[in-house]
Amino acid sequence: MSPTFDLSRLLRPRSIAVFGGGWGASVVEQLVKAGFAGDIWPVHPARETVGGVRACPSLDALPHAPDAAWIGVNRDATIDIVRALAKGGAGGAVCFASGFGETGDGAARNAALLAAAGDMPIIGPNCYGLINYLDGVPLWPDQHGGRRPERGVAILTQSSNIAINLTMQRRGLPVAYMMTAGNQAQIGLADMARALLEDERVTAIGLHVEGVGDPAAFEALARAARARRVPIVALKVGTSVQAQAATVSHTASLAGSEAGSRAFFARLGIPLVAGLPEMVETLKLLHVHGPLAGRRLLSMSCSGGEASLMADMAAARDLDFPPYTPVQRAAVAATLNPMVTVANPLDYHTFIWGDEGAMAETFAAAMGAVDVEGDTEGDVEGNAVGFDLSMLVLDFPRTDRCSDESWTPAVAAITTAARRVARPVAVVASLGELLPEERCDALLAAGIAPLCGIAEALAAADAAAALGEAWSRAMPPPILNPAPTPAPPVTIGEREAKAMLAGFGIPVPRGRHACTVAEAQDAADALGYPVVLKTTGLAHKTEAGGVRLNLADRGAVAGAAADLPGAGNGVLVERMVTGGLVEMIVGISRDPVYGLMLTIGAGGVLAELLADTVTLLLPVSAEEVAQALAGLRVARLLAGWRGGPAADTDAAIAAILAVARFAQARAATLEELDINPLILCEKDAWAADALIRIRDT
């Protein structure tokens, strides 16, 4: 993990030096426009003023070392200025220039920049810088669309252009900090985020991540954020599965950079979102309500179409619209026209539209405010569903052509109901543009999350619930990510591989190697029929026709041995696993960033086609493995399909944990491990095929 730098002066400066006349003038103008309360010191050898502020001719002419500096000169001059700032005791600097580590000739220049900075923190190079909206500090060379909140979320991105665009959002998201990381020559994205945790006004953090260069730094960030109860959500880009020419196993073809990223962030309790709109809405929900306690949702709308959309779009996620209790259903029905069907999602029709009091009663009753036999108003045990998030679908008309006056009673009603129920509440627009920024501001002030777009709202609820689940569990240990032994990997034969696995408690069928047909027949007699014959030395034996199953006598063995491709090198004779219910794949692959990855999923010859897998990072617990199995589509087969027998999941979990122990024992040398299939029966599980590639010298 990279060393820790003190960013406090850079993030919240009282004095700022700005170097450069072009982009630097824009920085000065933005500081003046923001009403920065500290000292602004432009530095330029030839100009009297920069951005309308009197300039100093050199760094030496400044009254004292600045808390922060923004450097907008060429890359070589940047190094000289950084060196002078560091020697003078400055608090930190933003390096705008490009041409460092991102270029072919920039490595030496990058090293020189780091040497010049020493212990002084620098952001970038090749980045715009940062905006501290809370204190009115834009170390920023361009226009931006943000405003000063009292508290809000922090957004960090490696892309300056994405940062600019995010400042222009009109969705009501209160942004406390916007930071760009650029090349991350000295300070990475995760370390920047950790520094922002020191500001108690930061309510949540959003990360736009192009690459995870230092997993340990992200692990430290996740631990610190959880300790301070600050939720984090991430948008990870560049996660497409990359070609892995050196791999030969099924596992390696299923586990790539995308699977590793998903597993890593899930392990840290940092939900991944699919795009910028989802990230903005998730941050908004987290800003208002934090992680959700569960996945029980309520939807209310005055349209059956919107109710159906909510139900249909939530079906693809692990979200639930539970039915009302009988008491609650009666309470809701009492507030509505008899023609209305009381259900969740609720279409309350338009009979009460415009009647603030009636709508407040309906919303409150639906959200769980019931009064039974003199009980005080609120959730009464056993009488109402305690929803983890109640959502009112409310689309506002465009005010340039229409009037939104009749929507005001609905806003007032949901505000009143939210106060009465005291549970997380959101107003959701079916389209993002149908919830104006000024309405978002009013809802935020009332403690209601304004969410723009149904799909984005459900994604936000999913992410907030995942955070709640993660925070209810202990933080996992650091990932197992040792540097591999430099020796080239070699493939271990199936028989030897199974012997190695058996030593760690992984059940394997009894088998013998045979060099002749007669030896194969004798081996089969000794093992007991039915048997399996396999060609040795092939990575994908089934696809190559190198496997013969269910051989019941000596004649069948002789015919199969004579027909197998490559049988001249001998064959493996094994007792056939009978009573198999489910075939699974269990494997280990090595990711250059995340280390050893455990992949579990539907196996057999259709492993890649079905792609029904879950990837976990080592080390793993029995609970994690059980949860991974339960999340597979093949889990329905494990539990017994259409009245059939259930597979022995305890045996499967034991075998998978044994694979993990084997991988941990050989963490520096193991390259790939592939058990395909692991055959699950009613009472046991068997590794029917195994491949190992290892870097033993």
In tens, the pLDDT along 290-339 reads: 999 999 999 999 999 999 999 999 999 999 999 999 999 999 999 999 99
For residue 81, the cross-strand partners are: none
Of 99, 120, 105, which Cα lies nearest the Cα of 9?
Answer: 120
What is the Cα–Cα distance from 663 to 657, expressed in whole angstroms?
10
- 186 near 20, Cβ under 8 Å? no
- 95 near 122, Cβ under 8 Å? yes
In this predicted structure, what is the pLDDT of residue 540? 64
In this predicted structure, what is the pLDDT of residue 607? 67
In this predicted structure, what is the pLDDT of residue 241? 47
To which residue do tokens 């916007």 refer?
A: 178
Average pLDDT over residues 548-553: 92
Residues 6+ apart with CB under 8 A from 57: 43, 44, 45
In this predicted structure, what is the pLDDT of residue 612? 86
What is the Cα–Cα distance from 582 to 579, expressed in whole angstroms?
10
Whether the pLDDT of residue 346 is over 70: the answer is yes
- Directed axis angle between helix 215-228 and helix 257-268, to 10°? 30
Q: Which two tokens stand for residue 456?
A: 């984005």
Residue of higher predicted confidence among 251 and 211: 211
In this predicted structure, what is the pLDDT of residue 544? 64
Average pLDDT over residues 221-231: 97
In this predicted structure, what is the pLDDT of residue 1? 58
Q: Assign 597 to helix, strand or coil.
A: strand
Measured in whole angstroms, the distance separating CA 392 from the mean position of its chain's CA atoms is: 27
In this predicted structure, what is the pLDDT of residue 102? 74
Measured in whole angstroms, the distance separating CA 352 from the mean position of its chain's CA atoms is: 42
The CA–CA distances, whole Å, from 452 to 175, 270, 278, 622, 687 equal 16, 22, 9, 39, 50
What is the Cα–Cα distance from 503 to 507, expressed in whole angstroms?
9
To which residue do tokens 């075939």 refer?
A: 583
In this predicted structure, what is the pLDDT of residue 465? 98
What is the Cα–Cα distance from 695 to 697, expressed in whole angstroms?
6
Lowest mean pLDDT among 30-44, 235-249, 553-567: 235-249
Average pLDDT over residues 490-497: 90
Of 307, 391, 393, which Cα lies nearest the Cα of 347?
Answer: 307
Spatial strand order of the sheet with 122-123 comes to 39-43, 15-19, 68-71, 93-95, 122-123
The CA–CA distances, whole Å, from 39 to 17, 66, 216 equal 8, 9, 37
In this predicted structure, what is the pLDDT of residue 383? 80
Whether the pLDDT of residue 380 is over 50: the answer is no
Whether the pLDDT of residue 377 is over 50: the answer is no
DSSP state of 12: S
Residue of higher predicted confidence among 420 and 541: 420
To which residue do tokens 């003046």 refer?
A: 32
Q: Which two tokens stand for residue 353?
A: 């539209």
**What is the percent of the chain where pLDDT is above 90?**
80
Average pLDDT over residues 359-376: 79
- 588 near 657, Cβ under 8 Å? no
List, in sequence order, the alpha helices (H) in 168-233. Answer: 189-196, 215-228
378 confidence band (pLDDT: 50, 70, 90): very low
Lowest mean pLDDT among 272-276, 375-379, 416-420, 612-616: 375-379
Query: What is the rounded average pLDDT for all residues in the chain?
Result: 91
Taking every pair of Cα atoms in the chain, the longest distance, rounded to a whole number of angstroms, is: 100
- 423 near 417, Cβ under 8 Å? no
376 confidence band (pLDDT: 50, 70, 90): very low
In this predicted structure, what is the pLDDT of residue 418? 96
Count other C-beta atoms under 10 Å from residue 579's C-beta.
12
- 222 near 268, Cβ under 8 Å? yes
150-170 pLDDT per residue, tens: 999 999 998 999 999 999 999
What is the Cα–Cα distance from 281 to 435, expressed in whole angstroms?
12
Q: Are strands 613-617 and 582-591 parallel, antiparallel or unpaired?
A: unpaired
To which residue do tokens 């250059």 refer?
A: 592
- 158 near 235, Cβ under 8 Å? no
**Strand ranges inside 163-311, DSSP E:** 175-180, 202-209, 232-236, 297-301
Q: CA geometry: angle at 24 spanning 18 and 28, to 5°?
A: 70
Q: Are strands 68-71 and 93-95 parallel, antiparallel or unpaired?
A: parallel
- 607 near 633, Cβ under 8 Å? no
Is there a cis peptide before residue 677, judged by omega within 30 degrees of 0? yes
What is the Cα–Cα distance from 126 to 99, expressed in whole angstroms?
8
- 457 near 426, Cβ under 8 Å? yes
What is the Cα–Cα distance from 512 to 561, expressed in whole angstroms?
14
In this predicted structure, what is the pLDDT of residue 524? 93
Whether the pLDDT of residue 605 is over 90: the answer is no
In this predicted structure, what is the pLDDT of residue 245? 39
Q: Which two tokens stand for residue 522?
A: 């004798």
What is the Cα–Cα distance from 571 to 494, expressed in whole angstroms?
11
Whether the pLDDT of residue 373 is over 60: the answer is no
What is the Cα–Cα distance from 470 to 260, expressed in whole angstroms?
18
To which residue do tokens 């240990």 refer?
A: 477
Average pLDDT over residues 482-506: 91
Whether the pLDDT of residue 382 is over 90: the answer is no
483 confidence band (pLDDT: 50, 70, 90): confident
In this predicted structure, what is the pLDDT of residue 535? 86
**Strand ranges inside 72-191, DSSP E:** 93-95, 122-123, 130-132, 137-139, 152-157, 175-180
